[in-house]
C-alpha cells in the first residue's frame, strides 16, 4: 500500500508546471501585450508615412549585419535546448555540461547585445537618433526594450549557470531551468518579429 507521504511526493514530481514557471508565463504574457502595443503603434505610423518610412534622409538600417546577429541569437536557443536536455538526465556530469552550455548561451546572448550596442553607436554617428525622426524614436524604443530584455536574460543565464552546479536538489535544478527557458525563448522568438518589422520591411519601401 502506497503511503500518503509517498503519494504526495509522486504528485509533486508529476506536476507539469511549477509556481515559478507559472509566474514567468504571466510575466511573459504581459510583455507580449506591451510589445504588441509598440508594434501596433509602429505599424500605424508606418502606414501613414508610405514611401518615406524611414525618411529618405535618414541612414538605412544594417539589415544584412543584423541578420548575422539574428543567427547568433538563434544559436543561443539551440545551446539552451541542449542544456535543458542534459539537466533532465539528473547526473552530476550532465549538470556540469548543462552549466557549461548555459555559459555558452550567455556568451552568445552577450554577443548579440554587444553587436546591437555597436550598431547603435554607428547609427547615432550617422544621424539616426531618437529625436531625429519618428522612425528613429520607434526604432530605439522597440529595439531598445528588446535589448534590455536580452541583457537581463544574459544576467539570468549567468546566475542559473552557477546555481545549477551549487544546488544539490535535481528537482530544484529542473525548476530553475524551466523558468529560465520560458524567459529566454521569449526573448529569442520575439526578435524575428521585430527584425522583420523594423529592419526588413522598411528597407523594401
Please report the domains of the chain, with CATH numbers, ordered by start residue: 18-204 (1.20.120.80)
Q: How far apart are the first and last CA of the chain?
A: 71
Listed residue (115, 100, 112, 102) closest to 74, CA to CA? 112
Q: What is the pTM of this model?
A: 0.86
Band of pLDDT at residue 203, cut at 50, 70 and 90: low
Enclosing H/E stretch for 100: helix 92-126
Interval 159-179: pLDDT, tens? 998 888 776 677 888 888 999
Interval 36-71: pLDDT, tens? 999 999 998 888 765 567 778 888 899 999 999 999
What single string gives the DSSP state of each residue in 107-172? HHHHHHHHHHHHHHHHHHHHT--TTT-HHHHHHHHHHHHHHHHHHHHHHHHHHHHHHHHH---HHH
Amino acid at each position: 500500500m502506497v503511503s500518503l507521504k509517498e503519494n504526495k511526493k509522486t504528485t509533486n514530481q508529476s506536476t507539469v508546471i511549477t509556481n515559478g514557471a507559472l509566474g514567468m508565463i504571466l510575466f511573459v504574457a504581459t510583455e507580449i501585450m506591451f510589445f504588441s502595443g509598440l508594434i501596433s503603434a509602429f505599424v500605424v505610423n508606418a502606414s501613414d508615412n508610405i514611401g518615406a518610412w524611414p525618411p529618405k534622409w535618414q541612414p538605412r538600417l544594417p539589415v544584412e549585419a543584423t541578420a548575422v546577429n539574428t543567427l547568433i541569437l538563434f544559436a543561443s536557443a539551440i545551446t539552451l535546448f541542449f542544456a535543458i536536455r542534459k539537466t533532465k538526465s539528473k547526473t552530476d556530469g550532465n549538470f556540469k555540461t548543462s552549466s557549461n552550455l548555459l555559459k555558452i548561451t550567455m556568451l552568445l546572448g552577450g554577443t548579440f547585445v554587444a553587436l546591437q550596442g555597436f550598431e547603435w553607436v554607428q547609427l547615432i554617428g550617422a544621424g539616426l537618433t531618437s529625436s531625429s525622426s519618428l522612425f528613429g524614436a520607434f526604432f530605439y524604443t522597440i529595439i531598445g526594450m528588446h535589448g534590455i530584455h536580452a541583457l537581463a536574460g544574459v544576467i539570468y543565464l549567468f546566475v542559473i549557470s552557477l546555481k545549477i552546479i551549487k544546488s544539490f536538489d535535481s528537482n530544484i535544478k529542473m525548476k530553475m531551468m524551466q523558468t529560465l527557458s520560458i524567459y529566454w525563448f521569449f526573448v529569442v522568438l520575439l526578435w524575428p518579429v521585430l527584425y522583420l518589422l523594423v529592419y526588413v520591411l522598411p528597407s523594401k519601401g
